[in-house]
Amino acid sequence: MVMVKGKMNWFWGKDMGGYIRELEELKKMQKRKLEIKGVVANKGVVKGVVRIVKTVDDLPKVESGDILVAPMTFPSFIPAMEKAAAFVTNEGGILCHAAIVSREMSKPCVINTKNATEILKDGDLVEVDAEKGVVKIIKRG
């Protein structure tokens, strides 16, 4: 007997096996949503609050110690990047703007996550582990 969507359901045989497989897959998906993987551009590990920056209009949101999360960075983002503790981008390679600036500023940076700006939200508390190329959501904001 299992509670599904607020109702008690009975499963047995093949139905129970299928239900258990679906449950395991759901757990894996949920775990993946709490962890974003990318490419290490500059090593380091920091915790901070996410600030999504898609345009220069978003730059004032970034405060000292925040994690700047962007599709990609541009030279106009430098003032916010100086305040941020780390950078996370959807796109980029080892020679992209975020990677180069992170090395110049000695700040952790994970690039090429594909979807950081879609999964992370302003106010989320995250750990950027740029030793492993992983961004973990500690607490939703």
Active site amino acids: 97
Residues in the chain: 141
CB–CB of 67/128 below 8 Å? yes
Q: What angle do CA 59, 114, 31 make, to 5 degrees?
A: 105
Alpha carbon distances (Å) from 26 to 77, 79, 127: 37, 40, 23
Tokens of 26: 């759901």
Amino acid (one-letter) located at 84: A
CA 139 to chain centre: 12
